[in-house]
A and B are shown apart, each in its own frame.
Chain A
Amino acid sequence: MSATVTTVSKAGTAAGDARTEDSGGLREAVRRRRKLLTGGGVLAALLVLGAVLLGGGGWPAGLTADISGPLDAANDWVVDNRDTHPLFLYFLLHLSNTATDAVDAVYQGLDALGWLGVTVAAVLVAWRAAGLGRRGLRAAVTALGAFAVCGVLGMWDATLLTIALMVVSVAVAALLGALIGLAAGLSDRVDRALRPVLDTMQVMPAFAYLLPFVLVFGTGTPAALFCTVIYAAPPMARLTALGLRGADPAALEASASLGASGLQRLWTARLPLARKQMLLGLNQTIMMALSMVVIAALVGAGGLGEEVYSALSTTDVGKAFTAGLPIVLIAVWLDRTTAAAGNGAGVPAPAGSWLHGGRAWALVAAAVAAAAAVRTATWPEAWTYDISTPVNKAQEWITANLTFTEVWAREFTLWVLNPLRDVLVWLPWWSVLLLVAAVAWLVGNWVSAVTATAAMAAIGVLGVWAKSLDTLSQVLAALVLTLVLGFLAGVLCARAGRLERWVRPLLDAMQTMPQFVYLIPVVALFGATRTSAIVAAVVYALPAVVRITTQGLREVDPAAVEASRSLGASTRQQLFGVQLPLARPALQLAVNQGVVLVLAVVVVGGLVGGGALGYDVIKGLSRGEMGLGMTAGIAIVCLGLVLDRVTQRTSRTPR
C-alpha cells in the first residue's frame, strides 16, 4: 500500500511531465537524442579506460570500511548504559515507558470492553464513519465479519494487541504527520526542505526502519511503536501539505477580502478545504502503520505479526494462515472504513434524518457502553475453530501432488536467478558504477546520477558488494516478471472496461495488504527458496503496476486516439503508435513504483529463504548482531536509492 501513497505523490509529476511533453515534444526528442549520443560516447571512453586501468572483479577490499565493529560497540555501549546514562534516564526511558504504558492502557481498555464491546464498537464506528446509509451498512458488515473471524480463528488476543499497537501508533503518526504537513503547507521553505526527505522515506523498504530503533530502544514495544510512527507519518504529512497547498485560491482570497485573520483563515477555509486530502492521508497512514506493526513482530511487537513470524520460521503454513487471515481482514476493515469516510467528506447527511452529526456518535457510544456492560471478557474458547490442521493437510497434499511448483522454483533458480547473479557479480565493480550513473543520468539529470552512483559506491564501501548484487539480481528478475505481467494486464484492462470492473476491487484489496501476508501462500506453494520471495514480490507489486498502466492509458488524450482512428489506424497501430507513447510518463512511473515495491518484499523475503541482505537483517535482529544487521540495513537503503533514482524521471532542473 505504500504504492498508493507514492502513486498519489508522483502522479502529479507524471501529469506535469505529460504536459511538457505536449508542448515541447520535438525539442524534447532532440535533446534526448543528443543526451543519448554524448552519454554513449563518454560511457564507451570510460569503459575502455576502466578496463585498462582497473581491471575486472568485485569491489576491491582496499576500498571497504567495515562499520560493523563500531556498530557492535555502539550497541554494547547502549546495552551497558541503558540504566545509567542520563540520556536514557531522562529522555529515552521516558519515551519508551510512555509508549509501553500507552499501548498497555489501550490494550487493557479493549480487554475491559470484552469481545462483545469491541465488536460492537468496531461495527458501529465503521457504520458512523462511513456515513450511515448504505455505504455505512457495508462497512459495518465488513467490520462484523472481520472481528467474528478473528475470534473464531482463536486469534482474539493477538488481534487486540495488534489493534492496541495500531491505535497508539496511528494516533501519534497522524498527529505528527498533520503538524509536519501544516508546516510544509504554510511555509514554502519548510516544504522545499521536507520534500526530498519525505520522497526518500517513501522509497525505503519497511525492513530498513527496524534496526536503528532496536539499537536505541532494544527489542520490544517501544521500538516497534516508534518505527511504525516514523514509517507511517510521511503520507499524512505529504497529503496534508498537498491539501493545504491545493486549496482553491479564490476561496482563500475571498476569506482574506472579508477581513479574516491568519488563524481564522486557517480554521474556516484552509483546513476544511484540505479535509478530503487529509482523510486520504489518514487512510494511507493507517494502512502503512498496519503493514509496519505486522513486520515489527521481528523487533518484539507481539500480536498477529508475531504469530505469523513464528509460524514462518518453523514453516508451519497452517499456523501462518490462521494468523494471516485476521491481518487481511483487519486491513480490509480499516481500509473500507477510512476510505468510505474520506469519500463521504463534504456530502451532506440525508435530509430529515434524525441520526445526524453528534447524535449518531452518541448512539455509538451508548451502544458500546451497553455491550461493555455485559462483561464478556475474551472470545469464548468454545467458539473457536482451528483451521491450521486442515490447511497443513491441504499444503501437504499440494506439495505431494503438485510437485511442478517446486520443480518450477528450482528451475527458475537454476536457469534464471543464478546466472543473473553470477553475471552481476562477475561484472567489474567500476563498470557497475558507470552503468548506474549512465542510466540515472539518461532517465533523470546529473543530480540523480551523482546520488545513485554515490549510493552504489557506499554499498561497496560497506563491504556487502556481493550480497547486494545478489539482492539486486532477485529484484531485477522480479521486476521483469512484474512489468511483463503488469503491462499486459494493464493494456487489457484499459481496453476492456468490463475486465477492469472485475479486476479493480481485487487490485484495490491487494494493494492494502501488508507485505508480510504475501509470504504465507508463497511458502505454502514453493517452500522456502529465493523463488518464493520473488513470487511474493511480483504478486505484491503487480496491483500498483497494473493500476498505473491502466490509468495512464485511459488518460491519454481521447482526441489523439480519435484522430488516429479517423485516419484508419488498426487497434494495434493505435496502441503502439498513440496510446503507449503518450502514456510514457505513466509507464515510467509504473516501473519506478514496481521497483520500489519489489525491493521492499525481496528483502522481507529473507524470512523465507531469500538470503542476501534481507537475511542479514533478520540474523542481526534475532541474534542481536547489530553490526551485521545495520550494515545490511544501510545497504538496503542505498540499493533503494539507486533503484529509485535509476527509474525516476525528473523534470526538475538542478539548481
Chain B
Amino acid sequence: MNGDTKETIDIDTKAAGTAGDNGTGDLEPPVFAVRGLWKVFGPRADRVPGSAELAALSPAELRERTGCTAAVRDVGFDVRKGEVFVVMGLSGSGKSTLVRTLTRLIEPTSGSIAIDGEDVLSMDKARLRELRRHRAAMVFQHFGLLPHRTVLDNVAYGLEIQGVGKAQRRAKAAEVVAKVGLAGLEERRPGQLSGGQQQRVGLARALAVDPEVLLFDEPFSALDPLIRRDMQEEVIRLHREEGRTMVFITHDLNEALRLGDRIALMRDGRIVQLGTPEEIVGSPADDYVRDFVRDVPREQVMTVRTAMRPAADATEAESGPAVAPGATVSEAIEAVARSGGPVRVVEDGRCLGVVDHAALLAVVAGVPAQGVAA
C-alpha cells in the first residue's frame, strides 16, 4: 500500500513538473488535470488499483491472476488551455478508454480527473450532462452519425439535445457546416457522403456546441491516406483560427507529430513518455519509444535549437543567412545548402548561435554532434 502511494506521488510530481515548464505566467488551472487514473475491466475491478502487488503485475499476469484487464494504469497528465494534446499508442494501449474516461463515457476505476479545477468524478448526473453538452465534445473514429437525418440535422443534433430551438440551431449548424467545408451538402444524408465528408460532419457536430475542449478518438484512422492528410490540415487550420483546446487520440505517429503540441505515448495502459514531439524523437525515454520513433524523419521534427552551437567569432554572428530557432532542421539544411556555409539562428534580431552542415548531419544521423561537444 505504501509503495503504491509513493508511486502515485512520483507520477504526480512528474506531471506537475511538466506542467510547470510552461512558465510561471500561467496561473489558470489546466483544462484537464488527470492524476493516478485507473480503468480496470473485469470482476471486482476496484481491488486492482488499491493493491500494490496486483498493480505491479504485467497485463498477462494480471489477467491470469484476477481475470481483469487494466486498460488505463495509473495515468497522470495536464492538458493546458489552447494546446493540442495527443495521446498516442498502438491498439490495445488504452488510449481510447482513456479519452472516454475524461467525460465518464467510461467510468474510471480510481484516480482523479478535474476539468478547469472542477472534480469530474464527483459530478452528479445533471452536472455531468451539462459537462458533455457544453464543455467537451467528441469526434469518433466511426463517425457515429444518425443515418436518418440530413447533414444539417446531424450537425444540429448536439444543440437539439441542449434544447435549442429549431430555427436557431439550424442557423448555427449551417454556419458550422460552411466552416468545415460542406456548404451545399446540408440536405444530404450521411449515407450519400464519402468517409472524409462524413467525418467533417462529425467534426461539425462537435464544433456546433462550441465546446471548450474537443476530444478526438482516432478520428481519421478509417480514412484513406490522402483524405486523412486533408483532415489533419483542417484540424490544424481550425486550431490556428480558434485556438481551441484539443485532446487527440491516434495510433499514427506521423499524425501525432504533425498535430501535437505535446504527446503522451502509451503502452499497456501506462504513459511511457510525455513531451513535445522534439523531446520524444530527440530523447526517447526508453527502448520502446526509441524503437517507435526510429523511422521518423528526424530533420522534419527536430528544430535548429538542438543543433546549434555558439558563434565562433563576430563574422559568423553578424553575416550569412538567418533562420528562426523554431525552424526545422530540414529547413536549415536547405539554407546551408544554398549558402554553402553556416547559418545563423536569429531571434528578435539577436543571434543565438549558428548551425553548420556537420551539426545538421549529426541530428539527421541521430548521433551527438562533435562540434557542440568541443
Contact = CB atoms under 8 A, between A and B. Distances in A.
Interface stretch (A251-259, A375-383, A467-475): A251-259
Interface in A252-288: 252-261, 264, 268-269, 272-273, 275
Contacts, number: 77
A349 to B, nearest CB: 11
Given A251-B145, A272-B148, A257 B105 contact: yes
B143 to A, nearest CB: 6
Nearest to A254: B144
A62 interface: no
Interface string B109-149: 00000000000000000001111111001101111111111
A253 B140 CA distance: 9
A258 B160 CA distance: 10
Contacts of B128: 259
A61 interface: no
B228 interface: no
B146 A272 contact: yes
Contacts of B149: 272
A42 interface: no
A250 interface: yes
B129 A261 contact: yes
Contact of B146 (A253, A261, A268, A351): A268
A76 interface: no
Interface string B137-179: 1101111111111100000011011100000000000000000
A252 B105 CA distance: 11
A260 B133 CA distance: 8
Nearest to B131: A259
Residue from B132, B144, B149, B162 whose CB has the most chain A CB atoms within 10 Å: B144
Interface string A227-265: 000000000000000000000101111111111110010
A348 interface: yes
Interface in B171-195: 187, 189
A13 B160 CA distance: 38
A259 B162 contact: yes
Contacts of A255: 144, 157, 161
Interface in A337-379: 345-346, 348, 351
Given A259-B130, A275-B148, A268 B143 contact: no
Nearest to A258: B158
Contacts of B162: 259
Nearest to A346: B148
Given A259-B131, A273-B147, A346-B147, A254 B205 contact: yes
B103 interface: yes
B280 interface: no
Contacts of A248: 142, 144, 147
Given A259-B132, A261-B129, A268-B157, A254 B138 contact: yes
Nearest to B126: A261
B209 interface: yes
Contacts of A348: 150, 187, 189
B160 A268 contact: yes
Interface in B338-373: none
Residue from A248, A254, A255, A268 whose CB has the most chain B CB atoms within 10 Å: A254
Interface residues of A, number: 23
B161 A264 contact: yes
Contact of A253 (B130, B144, B147, B158): B144
A189 B326 CA distance: 60
B209 A258 contact: yes
A251 B191 CA distance: 14
Nearest to A276: B148
B146 A269 contact: yes
Contacts of B161: 255, 258-260, 264, 268
Contact of A254 (B140, B160, B189): B140
A162 B162 CA distance: 48
Residue from B129, B148, B162 whose CB has the most chain A CB atoms within 10 Å: B148
Interface in B218-256: none
Given A268-B161, A348-B189, A251 B146 contact: yes
A247 to B, nearest CB: 10
A257 B209 contact: no
B360 to A, nearest CB: 45
A250 B144 contact: yes
Contacts of B145: 251, 254
A333 to B, nearest CB: 27
A348 B142 CA distance: 23
Nearest to B149: A272
Contact of A346 (B105, B133, B189): B189
Given A268-B161, A348-B189, A351-B187, A258 B137 contact: yes
A256 to B, nearest CB: 6
Contacts of B158: 258-259
B206 to A, nearest CB: 8
A254 B131 CA distance: 14
Nearest to B106: A253
A269 B161 CA distance: 11
Contacts of B142: 248, 250
A348 B189 CA distance: 8
Contact of A258 (B141, B143, B157): B157
A268 B159 CA distance: 12
A268 B149 CA distance: 10
B217 to A, nearest CB: 9
Nearest to A248: B144
A258 B147 contact: no
A43 B158 CA distance: 64
B189 A257 contact: no
Nearest to A252: B144
Contacts of B215: 257
A260 B147 CA distance: 18
A60 B215 CA distance: 74
Contacts of B189: 346, 348
A398 B162 CA distance: 73
B130 to A, nearest CB: 7
A275 B161 CA distance: 20
Contacts of A275: 148
Nearest to A260: B161
Given A257-B138, A259-B131, A250 B143 contact: yes
Contacts of A345: 148
Contacts of A252: 144
A273 B131 contact: no
Residue from A254, A258, A273 whose CB has the most chain B CB atoms within 10 Å: A258
B148 A273 contact: yes
A345 to B, nearest CB: 8
Contacts of B140: 250, 253-254, 257
A30 to B, nearest CB: 28
A257 B132 contact: yes
Contacts of A259: 128-134, 158, 161-162
Given A255-B157, A258-B158, A348-B189, 12 more contacts: A248-B147, A250-B143, A251-B144, A253-B105, A253-B144, A254-B140, A254-B144, A257-B103, A257-B132, A259-B131, A259-B161, A268-B161
5 contacts: A250-B140, A257-B132, A258-B132, A268-B160, A272-B146
Interface of B: 103, 105, 128-134, 137-138, 140-150, 157-158, 160-162, 187, 189, 202, 205, 209, 215
Nearest 5 Cβ contacts at the A-B interface: A254-B144, A259-B133, A259-B132, A250-B144, A250-B142
